[in-house]
A and B are shown apart, each in its own frame.
Chain A
Amino acid sequence: MRILIVGAGEVGSSIAANLAKNHDVVVIETDEAVVEDLNFSLDVLAVQGDGTDLEVLEEADVRRADMVIAATDSDETNIVISGTAKTIADIFTIARVKRRRLLTTWEQSQGAFGVDFMVCTDLISAEAIFRTSEVPNAHDVDTFANGLIRMVELNIEVGSPIAGQRVADVDIAETLTFAGIFRDDELIVVTGDTTIEAGDKLVVIGSQEAVQDFAAETAVESPNGIDDVVIIGGSEVGYQTARLFEANGYHPRLIEQDRYRARELSELLTDTTVMESDGTDTEFLKRENVGDADVVIVCLESNEKNLLASLLARKIGAKRTLAIVETAEYADLFEEIGVNIAIDPRLETAEEIVRFTREGHTEKVVMLQHDRAEVLEVEIDDTSWVAGRELVDVVDELPDGVVIGAISRDGELLGPRGATVFEPGDHVVVFVDATVLDEIIHRF
Chain B
Amino acid sequence: MAWNIEWRASLANLGTMVKYLSISMLVPLFVAVVYSEDIWVFLLSIAITAAAGFALEQLEKEPDLGPSEALLLVSLAWTTASIFGAIPFLLGGLGTESTIGLSLESGSAAVSSIVNALFESTSGFTTTGATVLGEISLERHSHALLLWRQLIQWLGGMGIIVLMIAILPELAVNGAQLMQSEAPGPDLQKLTPRIAETARALWLLYFGFTVLLVMILYGLHLAGFAPKMNLYNAVAHGFTTLPTGGFSPQADSIAAFSAAVQWAIIPFMVVAGTNFALFWHVLKGEAERLYQNSEFRAYTGLLAVFTAVLAAILFGGAAPVLEIGGPTEGLAENSLRHAAFQIGSLLNSTGYANANFAQWNQSAQIFLFFAMFVGGSAGSTGGGVKVVRWLVVLKAIRRELYTTAHPEVVEPVRLAGTVVSEDAIRGITAFTMLYLILFGVGAVFLGLDAGRAGFDLTVLEAASASLATLGNIGPGFGRLGPFGSYLFFPDSSKLLMTLFMWLGRLEIVPVLALFVTGVRDR
Interface of A with B (CB < 8 Å)?
Answer: 255-256, 262-263, 265-267, 270, 273-277, 284, 288
> Distance in Å from the Cβ of A251 to the closest Cβ of chain B?
13
Contact of B409 among A267, A270, A275 (CB under 8 A): A275
With A267-B419, A270-B417 as given contacts, are A284 and B412 in contact (CB-CB < 8 Å)?
no
Q: Report the separation of the CA atoms of residues A263 and B408 in the bound assembly, to the nearest whole angstrom.
A: 11
Q: Supply 26 A–B pairs (Cβ within 8 Å), ascending by A.
A: A255-B408, A256-B410, A262-B410, A263-B412, A266-B410, A266-B411, A266-B412, A267-B412, A267-B419, A270-B414, A270-B417, A273-B406, A273-B409, A273-B411, A274-B410, A274-B411, A275-B406, A275-B408, A275-B409, A275-B410, A276-B408, A276-B409, A276-B410, A277-B408, A284-B408, A288-B408
> Distance in Å from the Cβ of A278 to the closest Cβ of chain B?
10
Contact B409 A274, beta carbon cutoff 8 Å: yes
Chain B interface: which size bin? under 10
Q: Report the separation of the CA atoms of residues A255 and B406 in the bound assembly, to the nearest whole angstrom.
A: 12
Q: Report the separation of the CA atoms of residues A276 and B407 in the bound assembly, to the nearest whole angstrom.
A: 9
Q: Which residues from A are CB-within-8-Å of B417?
A: 270
Q: Report the separation of the CA atoms of residues A262 and B417 in the bound assembly, to the nearest whole angstrom.
A: 18
Q: Which residues from A are CB-within-8-Å of B406?
A: 273, 275, 288
B405-427 interface bits toward A, Cβ cutoff 8 Å, 1 = contact, 0 = none = 01011111010010100000000
B257-281 interface bits toward A, Cβ cutoff 8 Å, 1 = contact, 0 = none = 0000000000000000000000000
Interface of B, helix, strand, loop or mixed by DSSP: loop
Q: Which of B406, B408, B411, B419 has the most chain A CB atoms closer than 10 A to its own CB?
A: B408
> Distance in Å from the Cβ of A253 to the closest Cβ of chain B?
9
B461-500 interface bits toward A, Cβ cutoff 8 Å, 1 = contact, 0 = none = 0000000000000000000000000000000000000000
Q: Which residues from B are CB-within-8-Å of A265?
A: 410
Q: Report the separation of the CA atoms of residues A164 and B417 in the bound assembly, to the nearest whole angstrom.
A: 53
The chain A residue with its CB closest to the CB of B402 is A273
Q: Which residues from A are CB-within-8-Å of B411?
A: 266, 273-274
Q: Report the separation of the CA atoms of residues A266 and B403 in the bound assembly, to the nearest whole angstrom.
A: 13
Interface of B with A (CB < 8 Å)?
Answer: 406, 408-412, 414, 417, 419
The chain B residue with its CB closest to the CB of A234 is B410
Q: Which residues from B are CB-within-8-Å of A277?
A: 408
Q: Which residues from A are CB-within-8-Å of B419?
A: 267
The chain B residue with its CB closest to the CB of A278 is B408
Cβ-closest 10 pairs across A and B: A275-B408, A277-B408, A266-B410, A262-B410, A267-B419, A274-B410, A276-B410, A267-B412, A275-B409, A266-B412
Q: Which residues from A are CB-within-8-Å of B414?
A: 270
Q: Which residues from B are CB-within-8-Å of A262?
A: 410
Q: Which residues from B are CB-within-8-Å of A275?
A: 406, 408-410
Q: Report the separation of the CA atoms of residues A132 and B522 in the bound assembly, to the nearest whole angstrom.
A: 61
> Distance in Å from the Cβ of A268 to the closest Cβ of chain B?
9
> Distance in Å from the Cβ of A265 to the closest Cβ of chain B?
8
> Distance in Å from the Cβ of B178 to the closest Cβ of chain A?
31
Q: Which residues from B are CB-within-8-Å of A263?
A: 410, 412
Q: Report the separation of the CA atoms of residues A277 and B407 in the bound assembly, to the nearest whole angstrom.
A: 10
Q: A266-B410, A273-B409, A274-B410 are in contact. List 9 more A-B contacts (CB 8 A).
A: A255-B408, A262-B410, A263-B412, A266-B412, A267-B412, A267-B419, A273-B411, A276-B410, A277-B408
Q: Report the separation of the CA atoms of residues A302 and B412 in the bound assembly, to the nearest whole angstrom.
A: 28
> Distance in Å from the Cβ of B516 to the closest Cβ of chain A?
30
Q: Report the separation of the CA atoms of residues A266 and B412 in the bound assembly, to the nearest whole angstrom.
A: 6
Q: Report the separation of the CA atoms of residues A277 and B406 in the bound assembly, to the nearest whole angstrom.
A: 11
The chain B residue with its CB closest to the CB of A262 is B410
Q: Which residues from B are CB-within-8-Å of A274?
A: 409-411
Q: Report the separation of the CA atoms of residues A270 and B418 in the bound assembly, to the nearest whole angstrom.
A: 10
> Distance in Å from the Cβ of B425 to the closest Cβ of chain A?
13
Q: Report the separation of the CA atoms of residues A276 and B414 in the bound assembly, to the nearest whole angstrom.
A: 19
Q: Which residues from B are CB-within-8-Å of A266?
A: 410-412
> Distance in Å from the Cβ of B337 to the closest Cβ of chain A?
41
Q: Report the separation of the CA atoms of residues A288 and B411 in the bound assembly, to the nearest whole angstrom.
A: 16
The chain B residue with its CB closest to the CB of A276 is B410
> Distance in Å from the Cβ of B32 to the closest Cβ of chain A?
59
Q: Report the separation of the CA atoms of residues A265 and B419 in the bound assembly, to the nearest whole angstrom.
A: 12
Q: Report the separation of the CA atoms of residues A284 and B406 in the bound assembly, to the nearest whole angstrom.
A: 10
Q: Report the separation of the CA atoms of residues A255 and B417 in the bound assembly, to the nearest whole angstrom.
A: 21
The chain B residue with its CB closest to the CB of A277 is B408
> Distance in Å from the Cβ of B422 to the closest Cβ of chain A?
9
Q: Which residues from B are CB-within-8-Å of A288?
A: 406, 408
> Distance in Å from the Cβ of B407 to the closest Cβ of chain A?
9
> Distance in Å from the Cβ of B412 to the closest Cβ of chain A?
5
Q: Which of A265, A275, A276, A284 has the most chain B CB atoms closer than 10 A to its own CB?
A: A275
Q: Which of A255, A262, A267, A288 has the most chain B CB atoms closer than 10 A to its own CB?
A: A267
The chain A residue with its CB closest to the CB of B419 is A267
Q: Report the separation of the CA atoms of residues A274 and B411 in the bound assembly, to the nearest whole angstrom.
A: 7
The chain B residue with its CB closest to the CB of A281 is B408
Q: Report the separation of the CA atoms of residues A274 and B410 in the bound assembly, to the nearest whole angstrom.
A: 5
> Distance in Å from the Cβ of A267 to the closest Cβ of chain B?
5
> Distance in Å from the Cβ of A172 to the closest Cβ of chain B?
45
Q: Which residues from A are CB-within-8-Å of B412?
A: 263, 266-267
Q: Report the separation of the CA atoms of residues A284 and B409 in the bound assembly, to the nearest whole angstrom.
A: 12
Q: Report the separation of the CA atoms of residues A277 and B410 in the bound assembly, to the nearest whole angstrom.
A: 10
Q: Report the separation of the CA atoms of residues A262 and B407 in the bound assembly, to the nearest whole angstrom.
A: 13
The chain A residue with its CB closest to the CB of B411 is A266
The chain A residue with its CB closest to the CB of B417 is A270
> Distance in Å from the Cβ of A309 to the closest Cβ of chain B?
15
The chain B residue with its CB closest to the CB of A265 is B410
Q: Report the separation of the CA atoms of residues A266 and B406 in the bound assembly, to the nearest whole angstrom.
A: 15
> Distance in Å from the Cβ of A96 to the closest Cβ of chain B?
30
> Distance in Å from the Cβ of A401 to the closest Cβ of chain B?
51
Q: Report the separation of the CA atoms of residues A413 and B410 in the bound assembly, to the nearest whole angstrom.
A: 45
> Distance in Å from the Cβ of B165 to the closest Cβ of chain A?
33
Q: Which residues from A are CB-within-8-Å of B408?
A: 255, 275-277, 284, 288
The chain B residue with its CB closest to the CB of A273 is B409
Q: Report the separation of the CA atoms of residues A262 and B410 in the bound assembly, to the nearest whole angstrom.
A: 7
Q: Report the separation of the CA atoms of residues A276 and B412 in the bound assembly, to the nearest whole angstrom.
A: 13
Q: Report the separation of the CA atoms of residues A266 and B408 in the bound assembly, to the nearest whole angstrom.
A: 12
Q: Report the separation of the CA atoms of residues A288 and B419 in the bound assembly, to the nearest whole angstrom.
A: 25
> Distance in Å from the Cβ of B82 to the closest Cβ of chain A?
43
Q: Which residues from B are CB-within-8-Å of A255?
A: 408
The chain A residue with its CB closest to the CB of B418 is A267
> Distance in Å from the Cβ of B243 to the closest Cβ of chain A?
37
Q: Which residues from A are CB-within-8-Å of B409?
A: 273-276
Q: Report the separation of the CA atoms of residues A182 and B417 in the bound assembly, to the nearest whole angstrom.
A: 48
> Distance in Å from the Cβ of A285 to the closest Cβ of chain B?
11
> Distance in Å from the Cβ of A326 to the closest Cβ of chain B?
26
Q: Report the separation of the CA atoms of residues A415 and B414 in the bound assembly, to the nearest whole angstrom.
A: 49
The chain A residue with its CB closest to the CB of B414 is A270
Q: Which residues from B are CB-within-8-Å of A270?
A: 414, 417
Q: Report the separation of the CA atoms of residues A267 and B422 in the bound assembly, to the nearest whole angstrom.
A: 11
> Distance in Å from the Cβ of A398 to the closest Cβ of chain B?
54
Q: Report the separation of the CA atoms of residues A275 and B411 in the bound assembly, to the nearest whole angstrom.
A: 8
> Distance in Å from the Cβ of B358 to the closest Cβ of chain A?
46
> Distance in Å from the Cβ of A276 to the closest Cβ of chain B?
5
